[in-house]
């Protein structure tokens, strides 16, 4: 589980993609990650394996490659990193599971005073205006909602400390909808649904 507050922007040292999956090698300053720990890369929850000298490797299965923008990454690209949430931390963003729902395309970018407004095209069925959404793992508030997409407004802190500052029209990003919205949709589709162990497992818990 994550909060959507990016801790570090890292550079991909190497990426190897085959028909069996992918391996992403990246650097990070974290010194407390051990083998098997979860880490979010552009909002996708992966398992990190320390190699040494602040170098890490993450295995990416085909399912993840098909649902995220990780398959489009190349050596030298910048990625957003966040370690798994510690219970003692403040939940300053929102609950981000690291389970990417879909990808979205940047369709408009414009400056608005000191902020930057970015519009994305994607399915908006689970998005509400002023609700939360994770873009490349970054916890953001939906500023505007359209039939064909949505818009967010980035403060300088967000643009300076994430890879969203490098976005341009046509770029692809990872989207994770607010888990509360997904639960509500599940319940409204089947009012007889009960919270069971199987239900929680199916929904990422």
Single pTM value for the model? 0.83
Domain boundaries of the chain, sorted by first residue: 8-83, 102-183
Question: Can you give the pLDDT at residue 154?
Answer: 95
Element (H, E) at 52: strand 44-52
Question: How many beta carbons lie within 10 A of that of residue 26, not counting itself?
Answer: 24
Question: Can you give the pLDDT at residue 190?
Answer: 65
* 8-83 and 102-183 in the same fold: yes
Here the tokens at position 126 are 């689970």
Q: Can you name the residues that pair with 139 across neighbouring β-strands?
A: 134
**Pairwise CA distance, residues 57 & 194, whole Å:** 39
CATH of domain 102-183: 2.40.30.20
pLDDT in tens, the chain (205 residues): 899 999 999 999 999 999 999 999 999 999 888 888 999 999 999 999 999 889 999 999 999 999 999 999 999 999 999 999 887 777 778 889 999 999 999 999 999 999 999 999 999 999 999 999 999 999 999 999 998 999 999 999 999 999 999 999 999 999 999 998 888 887 777 655 566 777 667 766 6
Question: Can you give the pLDDT at residue 143?
Answer: 94
Question: How many beta carbons lie within 10 A of that of residue 184, not counting itself?
Answer: 13
Closest C-alpha to 2, from 115, 133, 98, 146: 98
**Pairwise CA distance, residues 43 & 39, whole Å:** 9
Question: Can you give the pLDDT at residue 92?
Answer: 76
CATH of domain 8-83: 2.40.30.20
The three-state secondary structure class of 197 is: helix
Q: Residue 113: which residues within 8 A CB-CB, separation 6 or more?
A: none
């Amino acid at each position: 589980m994550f909060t959507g507050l990016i801790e570090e922007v890292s550079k991909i040292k190497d990426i190897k993609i085959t028909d069996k999956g992918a391996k992403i090698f990246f650097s990070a300053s974290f010194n407390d990650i051990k083998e098997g720990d979860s880490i979010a890369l552009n909002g996708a929850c992966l398992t990190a394996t320390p190699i040494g000298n602040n170098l890490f490797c993450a295995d990416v299965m085909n399912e993840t490659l098909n649902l995220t923008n990780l398959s489009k990454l190349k050596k030298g690209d910048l990625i957003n990193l966040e370690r798994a949430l510690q219970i003692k931390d403040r939940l300053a963003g929102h609950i981000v599971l690291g389970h990417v729902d879909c990808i979205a395309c940047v369709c408009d970018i414009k400056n608005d005073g000191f902020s930057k407004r970015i519009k994305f095209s994607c399915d908006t069925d689970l998005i509400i205006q002023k609700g939360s959404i994770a873009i490349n793992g970054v916890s953001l508030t939906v500023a505007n909602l359209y039939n064909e997409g949505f818009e967010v407004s980035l403060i300088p802190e967000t643009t300076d400390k994430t890879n969203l500052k490098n976005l341009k029209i046509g770029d692809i990003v990872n989207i994770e909808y607010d888990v509360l919205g997904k639960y509500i949709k599940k319940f409204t589709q089947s009012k007889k649904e009960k919270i069971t162990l199987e239900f929680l497992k199916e929904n990422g818990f």
